Amino acid sequence: MNTKKIVVCGGGGFIGGHLVADLLRQGHRNIRAVDIKPLDEWYQVFDGVEKLQLDLQDKEACEQALRGAAKVYNLAADMGGMGFIENNRALCMLSVLINTHLLMAATKFGVEHFFYASSACVYAADKQVLPDVIALKESDAYPAMPEDGYGWEKLFSERMCRHFREDFGVTTRVARYHNVYGPHGTYDGGREKAPAAISRKVIQAKLSGWHEIEIWGDGRQTRSFMYIDDCLKGTQAIMHSDILEPINLGSNEIVTINGLVDIVEEIAGIKLKRTYNLKAPKGVNGRNSDNELIQKMLNWEP
């Protein structure tokens, strides 16, 4: 097995923790996981992995994180579900420091491969007005009109990856994640995304006997949701591919929020009275992943 050092930035988080686990399953042993959270707050912790608590917004911390690294997965960001994104735009924007300083460190230390986790929030708002949205192609990010705050940071950081590749020779790869969910995902505290939030609300309703659920928006807004295993497979395939430009990584199965509630209700064996909070953060009306490019490039899709 390749003994070169792999660094997972955001390794104490949801996706990062699963990525570390998957790399260990593959037999990799020279792994460094980095996260801003104290170790007892990491989602998953593994023996035999070097673990660093660092604030990767700081340039010196990024150099400490990447020294000796051959491959870097940048999954680190201050982010969450729509409630967090819409109410913390400045904090989301500050993640630009993480990717910028990591790219500078990657250049300094001659990192072989650098992966950046972008987001479908980079896509132009005027392409996501209707629930029955036309699936978003990679080219739909321009002319730029991304999600305010978080989406702008992701789009800018995509460009930073491109220019570090063009100007300094850093081999960068970028995937635009579409709503990742699965075990160990955040489910409360304000940073959770729709699948976990809906699941939590249905469970609470069943256990409490108060058979009602509040849904943000009118419930007709649409999304696609990607299971963590597909995210891991796609992330690593893109990292080791010849795909130079940002590419969609998401399911092309479009689901309404009402439909998501239907699914969780069926699993829980319960039907709930639905109330709709039209003033709550709900994001764009429709978003789905066009997977034509990833099928062409990888002969695979989530």
Q: Which residues are catalytic?
A: 150
Helices within 8-125 (DSSP H only): 14-25, 59-66, 82-87, 89-93, 96-109
87 φ/ψ angles, rounded to the nearest 5 degrees: -110, 0
**Is residue 120 within 8 Å of residue 287, measured between CB atoms?**
yes
Phi-psi region of 187 (alpha: psi -120 to 50; beta: other; left: phi over 0): alpha
**298, 301, 297: which is closest to 251 by C-alpha?**
301
Which residue in the block uniquely carries the two structure tokens 């800018």? 156
DSSP 193-247: -HHHHHHHHHHHHHHHS--EEEEETTS--EE--EEHHHHHHHHHHHHTS---S-E
- DSSP state at residue 15: H
CA 115 to chain centre: 12
Q: Which of 37, 38, 54, 103 is nearest to 74 (CA)?
A: 103
**Signed CA dihedral, 108, 114, 118, 123: sign only:** positive
- Phi (first) and psi of residue 242, to 5 degrees: -100, 20
